[in-house]
Amino acid sequence: MGTQLYLGVIVVMLFATTVANAEIKVQCEKDSISITLTIPSRLRQYAARYFLGNCMPSRFNVLPSGEGKAEFNYKLADCNFKRLMKGKHLIYKNELTFRPRPRSSPAAYVYPIECVYPRPKGVAEGRGGLKFHMLLLNEKITEVAETNVIPLGSFMPIWATVEQKSHQPLLLLMEECVAATTPELQANSNVYPIIRNKGCLLDSVKGNSRFLPRYHSSAIILYLQSFKFGLGKEVYIHCKLLAWDPEVLSESKKACHYVKENERWELLDDPMQSSMCDCCSRTCNPRSKRGDEWESNGFRPKDWYATIYDPVFKTYSLGDLQFNIGLMN
């Protein structure tokens, strides 16, 4: 055990030393990128632990010298590139990393990647009103539920979406959700917290609730396990929805659920960045430096933040309980 750990440390140190002086070639194309990295022969066996964002090398060759050559050839729409519009420039940012240890551990080395282009004419930050929807789906998650009978312990697929229309791509997040015994939240309302702390699904810790994989960034499905609350009363589920840039996640803009098999919080949209969810066990920072950077360039959460309350409720029963799905005001 001690020997394995020692060797792992040596590998990390060797990489940090050699990559700092390694030959890294970056070629930015119109809508793609090509990166070539020369890998020392003693580190060739770790070729699969090099990443561009969340992408592995697209090609790997052994050179006559015994060194390895890793190539990354990807579209800028892939690999979790961050897209930033700043002044007259359109900037794509990413990181070339080496991760010899489990994905929960920090990268052993990080090399910043950046492609800068003239800002295309007619490209601007999306602004204006947004329209949100939230509905209960059937158990097969194929259409709106036809029944309002939900047995205790079964699952309620709650689907939420935001209409993008002419806006640039949006990421829909559930910042907060609670169950309450009133159709409108009051100071004295009896509530059951479901999602708190800027996107942490609390009910995934004590129950089996979770977020389902997305089919589109502008929609999210909360797979909520029914629970006991407000016996004999109607129960309403209220949610605050937040639409944000899909390339900029942080402690304050995330969707996290607890995975019991791994005994840790996991980020829905990129498990490799699950460290953003570590704060779910304490208090998540309301803002992040990266978020401030984007907001300073015209992308502000208040432009996308909605607290729309839908007066037309769907009613669902949970044993003796009635569930109504609406948006939090």
The CATH number covering residue 256 comes to: 2.60.40.4100
- In 181-252, which ranges are E strands? 191-196, 200-201, 210-211, 219-225, 234-244
For the chain, what is the domain count? Answer: 2
**Which residues is 114 bridged to in the sheet?**
93
Domain assignment present for 126? no
Residue 149 sits in the same domain as residue 56: no
CA–CA dist 135, 315 (Å, integer): 11
Domain assignment present for 127? no
Residue 110 sits in the same domain as residue 150: no
Domain containing residue 20: CATH number: 2.60.40.3210
Residue 182 sits in the same domain as residue 47: no
pTM over cut 0.75:
no
Domain assignment present for 124? no
pLDDT 10s digit of each residue in the chain, 329 long?
A: 332 332 333 333 344 444 444 688 999 998 899 999 888 888 887 788 888 988 888 988 888 888 888 899 999 988 888 887 777 888 899 999 888 776 666 777 889 999 998 876 545 444 446 778 888 888 888 888 776 667 778 888 888 888 766 556 788 999 999 888 777 777 777 888 999 999 999 999 989 999 999 988 889 999 998 887 766 666 778 888 888 888 788 899 999 999 999 999 999 999 999 999 999 999 987 654 444 443 433 334 333 322 223 322 233 333 333 444 444 44
**Whole-number pLDDT of residue 22:** 60
Pick from 157, 205, 197, 160: which is nearest to 175 by CA?
Answer: 197
Residue 43 sits in the same domain as residue 69: yes
Q: What is the β-pairing status of strands 256-259 and 314-318?
A: unpaired
Residue 299 sits in the same domain as residue 248: yes
CA–CA dist 173, 255 (Å, integer): 6
Residue 137 sits in the same domain as residue 245: yes
Residue 311 sits in the same domain as residue 184: yes
**Whole-number pLDDT of residue 277:** 95
Pick from 139, 240, 251: which is nearest to 194 by CA?
Answer: 240
Pick from 190, 137, 160, 144: which is nearest to 321 by CA?
Answer: 190
Residue 188 sits in the same domain as residue 217: yes
Q: Can you list the alpha helix ranges (DSSP code H) found in the chain?
A: 2-19, 203-206, 289-295
Residue 171: count other Cβ atoms within 10 Å of its Cβ: 24
DSSP 233: S
Which residue segment(s) compose the domain that 76 sits in? 2-118
Residue 82 sits in the same domain as residue 212: no
Domain assignment present for 123? no
Domain boundary among 89, 118, 147: 118
Domain boundary among 90, 118, 146: 118
The answer to whether the beta carbons of residues 213 and 151 sit under 8 Å apart is: no
**Whole-number pLDDT of residue 101:** 72
Residue 188 sits in the same domain as residue 273: yes
Domain assignment present for 62? yes
Residue 85 sits in the same domain as residue 216: no
Residue 220 sits in the same domain as residue 300: yes
